[in-house]
Amino acid sequence: MLLQKIFTRALHSTRHLYAASGGSGGLEKSALAALRKKTGYTFANCKKALEKHNNDVGLAEKWLHEQAQTLGWSKATKVADRATAQGLIGVLIRGNRGAMVELNCETDFVARNDTFKRFVDHVACMCLHYTDLTDFDGDLWKLGFDADALKNLRTEEGRTLGDHLALLIGAIGENATIRRALCFKANNDLRLVGYAHPAPTNVGTTEGITQVGKYGAIVAYRSTHKLLDFEFHKSICQQIIGMKPMKIGEYDKDKPAENKDDETCLIHQEYLLDADKTVGEALQEHNCEIVDYHRFECGEQTERSLEAIIRSQHQSSN
């Protein structure tokens, strides 16, 4: 009991000494707490920033960001040649707009990290922001971004996504890349649905939420049903992710493949949720017409990546 009283008295005295030192030019506890909460940087870094700028939280925050940016770019330069074979696909649907992005990193451990997932969300939101700025007269508008275009997109505070990527690299300690993005915008009676796999269970809606996984799909469809059947439309995305159709298909032009396992037309494929019917039959039952779709798989080779491989091989042979 006596020891407890002595400890409590000592702690109480220490608090007074700390407060006194803050009043005479030392750190103010409120400023330190505010800076840590706002920036997320360590106690030591926030303390150093406030000491350098006489407890001015604004100047201290600016200095911290500048230091982090410098360290991030330095780290990014050092690890730029490391392969980024892991990563995530992000899918974001908000009303009649949609964005699907791919970000890569070195290890699956980082891909499962919340910091990396938040950055996927940030990139998807930025792509959707630029989609909002586009007006068009047709039913469906699509725009693709390559890595260079994405890194040059400016965020609301004036920095580019490339700057934010450097900060991410500095935080996670390994190389990361923003590989590609595809944006959708639908007009008139077209609707959008998106899905990322694997997905968490027991999710009622994904509207306005960036889904993340190793695979993703966005589908543009037309339906006479006024009520949205989220589970059915999600199943069409799952079909596209799992069965990799090459095209939607047309009944008067495309004949079903002799071997159903070789079928590449979506409408003729066996419906994954009911093997007794085709996807086309399931669509007809739900008065639904697929107008367009796109599928992303993390790390898959695209035409652009194949061109880079060929170019690299050619240069090494010379």
End-to-end CA distance of the chain: 82
What are the two backbone dihedrals, phi and then psi, of residue 38, each rounded to the nearest 5 degrees?
-75, -35
Residue whose tokens read 């920095």: 159
Domain range list for the chain: 39-79, 86-316
What pLDDT is stored for residue 316 in this prediction?
A: 44
Q: Helix, strand, coil proportions of the chain in percent (round to 5)?
A: 45, 25, 30
Domain 86-316 has CATH 3.30.479.20: yes
As a whole number of angstroms, the distance between CA 35 and CA 138 comes to 48
Q: What is the pLDDT along the chain (318 residues), one digit of tens a residue?
A: 333 332 233 333 333 333 333 443 455 778 888 888 877 677 887 888 899 888 899 998 888 878 777 777 777 788 888 999 999 999 999 999 999 999 999 999 999 999 999 999 999 999 999 998 888 889 999 999 999 999 999 998 888 999 999 989 988 889 999 999 999 999 999 999 999 999 876 555 677 899 999 999 999 999 987 667 889 999 999 999 999 999 999 999 999 999 999 999 999 999 999 999 999 999 999 999 999 999 999 999 877 654 544 444 444 444
* Nearest to 99, CA basis, from 248, 240, 209: 209
For 164, what's the count of Cα atoms within 13 Å in the CB-facing half-sphere?
23
Contact 99, 152 (CB under 8 A): no
* Nearest to 216, CA basis, from 192, 250, 191, 242: 242
What pLDDT is stored for residue 226 in this prediction?
A: 67
Query: Which helix (DSSP H) or strand (DSSP E) does residue 49 occupy?
Result: helix 43-52
Contact 283, 289 (CB under 8 A): yes
CA distances from 45 to 39, 40, 48, 63, 168 (A): 10, 10, 5, 10, 17
Contact 279, 239 (CB under 8 A): yes
Contact 294, 196 (CB under 8 A): no
Rounded (5°) CA angle 235-122-133: 85
Residues 6+ apart with CB under 8 A from 180: 101, 102, 144, 145, 146, 147, 150, 296, 302
Exposed / middle / buried, residue 127 (Cβ in 10 Å: 0-12, 13-18, 19+): buried
Omega of the bond leading into 198 within 30 degrees of 0 (cis): yes
